[in-house]
Each structure stands twice: as structure tokens, then as C-alpha cells.
């Protein structure tokens, strides 16, 4: 099978192996050239069927909860944890799994530090800079609950060996360059006392046009100024960027007030929530996202499968009329999709599959009524 429209059952998340391996190669090259370490961030991509492949490139994973830490520990030799706050009963299980643990506040560190028998301890800092324009995704908005302000951290507490900053989202190398400058300006007095710094996620190094030479120059410059500090990056999206799709099917076509809508067997609210949260209009293979006021003979809105009125995404121009049974392929649907899906209205989660390099299709996971029932009481 070489045509994704022939995926046996929809909806289905389908990882495209060629693209995924290309991303891994890019990340491996950056690690080798820069001397930094990458972590696989489970909050962005947790398709553990692919973790053995990832573990051949990076030795560690980033976890934000007990369950993520448990899953990461099955596949990676290093587990780095950070959470805005740790439940005591969870932390007692998280700590033994981890090589590095970052805390969101000085209080959290003091509460849990006695349980760190072997993990390195770090503090999350707020550099007061982020290029992210959507407040929902911006951890540096005024009043942010994430990270410690410079004025609240005059010196490093005993036992702290690292700093953690996360302020980017699908950002370029220029944003990282500014981030490092802000950290050195606001927290430079602390850098002599740490041995590692985690610069978080949001480094979209596998996106076409990403300025890898600038990234390497920035990282090498930082390491020249601070040769004792190990630099860590933990992108989730970069591993899976444009490495897979969501294949859906047109169930019905309706029209209201002159707006034709293709009713799909998938949902933006349940299966692609970032489309509504960010918000953004996902690309569809073979179609053009219609600009405001742009008309055409085959213009359709995409309608989701739930009863949420706003379960729709954009208007699209097709080269042909859509009909019931047609397949719709949403591009770039590997990162921040499967990890955020829900079963609102009791609709099933999409299958998970792999399109291998030889064109064969592997069904990795399918979901049933028992998955829905088991979530409730």
C-alpha cells in the first residue's frame, strides 16, 4: 500500500517511517556537531512503538508525570522529570525512576529533596522572554505559574546542580539565541554553580528552513563561555514533525446558508484539539486552505464527529467535488495529537498505524468500547 487513501480503516493516525527516520537523522547530526544532548519529550509524542528507534539516537526522555516517567523508564537509560507540582504519593515513585528532577519552586524542592537518592536536582527558571503569541501556550506571560523569577532566586540552594528553562513553542534558532542571552543576563550569577542546563522544548530543528548553523553557533558559543555546563534540549514536536497524518473519511455532506460541510468520522475537538486551542487550520493533502472571501466551485468546511457546535476546521478549496466515502488526509498529525485525544461523546479514538518504507501498512493499535467504558465508573 503506497496510497494513504487505502488505509483499511478510518480514522487513523499513520506514522510515515521515511519522514520519521529523516527527523531522527537530523537530531543525531545536531547532537554530534553541538555536543548537546536531546531528550524525547513524551508530552509531545508518546507513540512508544517507536521508542526503540528513538533510543538508538537519544539516551533520555523527558516526563511530566508519574505515568510518563514509568513509560520512559521502560525504554530510556535517562529519565528527566519536571512537573508544576508533584503529588507526594506520585513523587515517591517518580524519584527512583529519574536521573534528573526539576522543581517549579523552592518550596517544592525543599519538600521533596530528601527523596532524591541519586537524581540530579534542578530548578525551573522564568527568563521573562517567549516568542509565543498565544497566551495559552506562553509560559512567560505576566503572572505565569511556571518557573522562578530572577529576583526570587538570589543564589542556588544547597544540592541544586541544574537549571531548567522552557519558553519556546515551534520556534526557530533565533528565539533560542535570545533565550540564552536572557538567561545569561537574568541568571548569569548562578551559572558558575551548575553543571547542566535544560533549555526545554519548542526547538523545531526538523522544520524545513530551520537555521541549524545558527543553532550550532549559539550552542557552541554558550559552551565556550560555560564549558562546565552540559546543555540539554527536550523537543517533542521535532521528533515527529511532518512525520505522519490523520486519515479520515467523509460520512456525509451538508449545506447551511450556502456553506457546504464535509462531515467526517474524526473530530477536531476529540482527536486534534490543538486545532481549536491554538487555534490553527490544519493542512489537507490535495486541498488549499481558503483565504477569507476566497471562493471556488469546490469549497468545503470540515465538520467533526462530535455534537460540539465548534467542532469544525476552516474552509478548503478542492480541485474536485467531494463525495461520501472520500478520504481526507490531514497533514502533520503526529505531535500533540495522540497525547491529547479524548473520547467526548463516546467516539472512538483513531487507530494508530505505520506506513513502512516498503509501502506496507502496520496496524499498531485499535480502540474498542472497553477502552471507553474503562475510563469511567
Given a contact cutoff of 8 angstroms between Cβ atoms, the answer to whether 45 and 237 are in contact is yes
DSSP 354: E
Mean per-residue pLDDT, 373-377: 91
Per-residue pLDDT of 88-133, as tens digits, reads 999 999 999 999 999 999 999 999 999 999 999 999 999 999 999 9
How many residues are given for the chain?
A: 377
Given a contact cutoff of 8 angstroms between Cβ atoms, the answer to whether 331 and 289 are in contact is no
pLDDT value for 167: 97
pLDDT band for position 297 (cuts 50, 70, 90): confident
Ranges of beta strands (E only) in the chain are 12-16, 37-41, 60-63, 78-82, 100-103, 120-124, 160-164, 196-198, 230-233, 244-256, 259-264, 287-289, 299-303, 312-318, 327-330, 351-355, 361-365
CB atoms within 10 A of CB 120: 18
Given a contact cutoff of 8 angstroms between Cβ atoms, the answer to whether 125 and 154 are in contact is no
Per-residue pLDDT of 359-368, as tens digits, reads 999 999 999 9
What value does the CA radius of gyration of the chain take, rounded to a whole number of Å? 22
Of 111, 71, 118, 120, whose CA–CA distance to 91 is shortest?
A: 111
Give the angle subtended at the CA of 250 by the CAs of 249 and 255, to the nearest 5°.
160
CB atoms within 10 A of CB 229: 17
Given a contact cutoff of 8 angstroms between Cβ atoms, the answer to whether 199 and 176 are in contact is yes
C-alpha cell at 57: 539516537
Interacting residues of 278 by C-beta distance below 8 A, sequence separation 6+: 134, 136, 137
pLDDT band for position 292 (cuts 50, 70, 90): confident
Per-residue pLDDT of 8-32, as tens digits, reads 999 999 999 999 999 999 999 999 9
pLDDT value for 218: 98
pLDDT value for 3: 82
| 51 phi/psi in degrees, rounded to 5 | -65, -35
pLDDT at 138 > cutoff 80: yes
Cα 26 to Cα 211: distance, rounded to the nearest angstrom: 12
Mean pLDDT score of the chain, rounded to an integer?
Answer: 96
C-alpha cell at 79: 529519565
pLDDT value for 1: 62
pLDDT value for 294: 80
pLDDT at 258 > cutoff 80: yes
Per-residue pLDDT of 155-164, as tens digits, reads 999 999 999 9
Check whether domain 35-239 has CATH 3.40.50.720, yes or no: no
pLDDT at 377 > cutoff 90: no
pLDDT at 2 > cutoff 80: no
Mean per-residue pLDDT, 349-377: 95
Cα 183 to Cα 153: distance, rounded to the nearest angstrom: 13
C-alpha cell at 115: 527523596
Where exactly are the structural domains of the chain?
4-14+244-333+341-374, 35-239
Mean per-residue pLDDT, 210-231: 98
pLDDT band for position 190 (cuts 50, 70, 90): very high
The answer to whether the 4-14+244-333+341-374 and 35-239 domains have the same CATH topology is no
Per-residue pLDDT of 237-246, as tens digits, reads 999 999 999 9
pLDDT value for 216: 98
Mean per-residue pLDDT, 176-183: 98
The 3-state DSSP class for residue 285 equals: coil
pLDDT at 52 > cutoff 80: yes
Mean per-residue pLDDT, 218-235: 97
Per-residue pLDDT of 311-337, as tens digits, reads 999 899 999 999 999 999 999 999 999
What is the CATH class of 4-14+244-333+341-374?
Answer: mainly beta
Amino acid at each position: 500500500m503506497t496510497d494513504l487513501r487505502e488505509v483499511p480503516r478510518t480514522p487513523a493516525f499513520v506514522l510515515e517511517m521515511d519522514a520519521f527516520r529523516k527527523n531522527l537523522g537530523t537530531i543525531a547530526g545536531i547532537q554530534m556537531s553541538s555536543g548537546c544532548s536531546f531528550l524525547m519529550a513524551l508530552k509531545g509524542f508518546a507513540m512508544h512503538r517507536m521508542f526503540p528507534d528513538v533510543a538508538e539516537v537519544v539516551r533520555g526522555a523527558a516526563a511530566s508525570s508519574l505515568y510518563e516517567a514509568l513509560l520512559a523508564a521502560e525504554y530510556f537509560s535517562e529519565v528527566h522529570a519536571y512537573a508544576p507540582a508533584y503529588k507526594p504519593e506520585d513523587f515517591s515513585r517518580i524519584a527512583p525512576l529519574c536521573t534528573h528532577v526539576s522543581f517549579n519552586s523552592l518550596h517544592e524542592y525543599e519538600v521533596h529533596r530528601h527523596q532524591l537518592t541519586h537524581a540530579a536536582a534542578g530548578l525551573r527558571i522564568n527568563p521573562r522572554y517567549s516568542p509565543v503569541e498565544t497566551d495559552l501556550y506562553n509560559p512567560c506571560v505576566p503572572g505565569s505559574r511556571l518557573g522562578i523569577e530572577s529576583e526570587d532566586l538570589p543564589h542556588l540552594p544547597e544540592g541544586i546542580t541544574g537549571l531548567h528553562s522552557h519558553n519556546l513553542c515551534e520556534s526557530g534558532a533565533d528565539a533560542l539565541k535570545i533565550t540564552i542571552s536572557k538567561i545569561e543576563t537574568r541568571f548569569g550569577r548562578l551559572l558558575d554553580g551548575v553543571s547542566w542546563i535544560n533549555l526545554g522544548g519548542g526547538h523545531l530543528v526538523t522544520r524545513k528552513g530551520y537555521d541549524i548553523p545558527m543553532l550550532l553557533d549559539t550552542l557552541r558559543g554558550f559552551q565556550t563561555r560555560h564549558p562546565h555546563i552540559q546543555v540539554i534540549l527536550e523537543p517533542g514536536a521535532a521528533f515527529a514533525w511532518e512525520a505522519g497524518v490523520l486519515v479520515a473519511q467523509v460520512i456525509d455532506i451538508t449545506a447551511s446558508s450556502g456553506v457546504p460541510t464535509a462531515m467526517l468520522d474524526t473530530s477536531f475537538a476529540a482527536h486534534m484539539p490543538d486545532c481549536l486551542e491554538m487555534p490553527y487550520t490544519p493542512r489537507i493533502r490535495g486541498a488549499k486552505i481558503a483565504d477569507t472571501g476566497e471562493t471556488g466551485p469546490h469549497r468545503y468546511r470540515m465538520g467533526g464527529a462530535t455534537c460540539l457546535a465548534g467542532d469544525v476546521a476552516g474552509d478548503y478549496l478542492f480541485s474536485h467535488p467531494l463525495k461520501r466515502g472520500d478520504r481526507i488526509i490531514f497533514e502533520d498529525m503526529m505531535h500533540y495529537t495522540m497525547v491529547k485525544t479524548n473520547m467526548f461523546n463516546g467516539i472512538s479514538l483513531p487507530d494508530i498505524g505505520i506506513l513502512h518504507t516498503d509501502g506496507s501498512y502496520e496496524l499498531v493499535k485499535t480502540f474498542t468500547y472497553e477502552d471507553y467504558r474503562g475510563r469511567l465508573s
